[in-house]
Amino acid sequence: MTRLSMLLLLALAGRASAQAPAPAGTPPPDSTVHAGRTSGTGSLQRLMAEADSLLKLRGGSHAENAQLYLAWNTPWGMKRAERTRMPGCADSTASDTLYLSFYPGRSARHFTGFTGDLDFLATGQDTLGPWWHMESKGGENGGNIQVDWGPLPDIPGPQPWQAPGHGFAILERTPSAMRLRLLFALTLDNAVRLDSTVTYTLCRVVVRHRRSARLAGCGQPVCVKWTRATFGFELKDEPEVRRGERLVSYGGPWSICEPFHDEPSTRAWKPKPPPSK
C-alpha cells in the first residue's frame, strides 16, 4: 500500500473509532459512501473495494501528461521565477524560497495529496559542507530548512487544497547529497476536484541563512532535483511522475545540473544507514 493510502486509512480509522457509541436499540448506521464521505468502520473495506474497482475501470494508475516544476522566488511560469539562485551568504537574516508546482494533465474528483523526493546534490567531486547538515538532530545547521504546506494565502498560484492536511518532511543525507522526503495528504472529506489544465502550487521549501557566516558550504554549487513524485488522483490511484522542469541550481549556473538529467544518477541514491544499536 502506498504512503498516501496508508495515511488516509489511518485518518479514516481514527475518525470511525472516535465516534460515540450509539444508545442501545439504535439501528446500525448506514456505512455507504457519499461524495467521498464515510461513516462507520464497515465503510473502510467498502471504500477500498470501490477504489480497486474504479482503478481497474481506468486501466490502472497513470498520468502520462503530468509535469513537475521547480522554481526559485515564485512558482514556475510566474514573474520573477528563476531556475538559478545565488544565495546571499553574508546576510544571516536572508532566506531562499523554492516552489514545487505540478501540471496534472488529467482530472480528479478527490485529489488526496502527493509525495516527493527533493535532492540537493553536490557537483563535480565536491561534498556537501557543514552548512548543508540541516538534519534537526545532530546537524551543524539543524532546522535551517522548512517546508510550508498549503493552503496559505501568501503562496502564489492555485493550490489544490481547500483545508489543512497532514504534511511531513524527512531529511536524509550522504556526504554528497541531501534528500528531503515530502508527504502531504488530505482526508477524502477535504479533497478537492482537480482541473486537468491548471498548474497548481503544492508547497514551498525555505532555506534559511542563519549561521551562514560560521559554516562552510552556503555558496558551493549545488543542483536541486525533484527526482520523483506520486500524486493521489484518487484513493489507490497514485501514479509516479519523473518528468518536467525539475532541475534548478543553487550557488552556480544552471549548467551545473547537466550531469543530473539522466535517471541513473537517481537510481544511485544510497541513504545513510540507520545508526547501529
Q: What is the pLDDT of residues 21-74, one digit of tens each?
A: 333 443 443 333 333 444 444 565 665 666 556 556 666 667 899 999 999 999
Give 66-120 as a DSSP string: -EEEEEESS-TTSTT-BSEE---TT-TT-EEEEEEEEE-SS-EEEE-EEEEEEEE
> Bigger pLDDT: 2 or 256?
256
Minimal CA–CA distance to 226: which of 111, 74, 120, 155?
A: 120
- The answer, yes or no, to whether residue 4 has pLDDT greater than 90, is no
DSSP secondary structure string, 205-269? EEEE-TTTTTSTTTTS-EEEEEEEEEE-SBTTB--EE--EE-EEEESS-GGGGGGGSSTHHHHT-
For the domain with range 67-262, which CATH number is right: 3.40.50.300, 2.60.40.680, 1.20.1560.10, 1.10.10.60?
Answer: 2.60.40.680
* Residue 7 confidence (pLDDT): 54
* pTM exceeding 0.95: no
Given the C-alpha cell 479514516, which residue does it identify? 12
Least confident of 10-14, 75-79, 231-235, 240-244: 10-14
pLDDT for position 188 = 84
- Quick one: average pLDDT of 189-209? 96
Find, among 202, 161, 252, 190, the residue nearest to 69 by Cα. 202
What pLDDT does 236 receive?
Answer: 81
Instruction: Number of helices (H) and strands (E) in the chain: give both, helices first.
Output: 3, 14
CA distance 202 to 188: 17
* Domain residue extents for the chain: 67-262
Residue corresponding to grid cell 495528504? 185
Mean pLDDT of the chain: 82
Position 274 pLDDT exceeds 70: no
What is residue 261's predicted lDDT score, i.e. its pLDDT? 87
Integer angstrom CA distances of residue 72 from 59, 227, 262: 37, 17, 22
Does residue 41 or residue 128 have the better pLDDT? 128
Cα 84 from chain centroid (whole Å):
21
Percent pLDDT > 90 in the chain is: 65
Q: 7 or 228: whose pLDDT is higher? A: 228
Q: 200: which 3 cell numbers?
A: 497548481
- Determine the average pLDDT of the residues in 89-98: 95
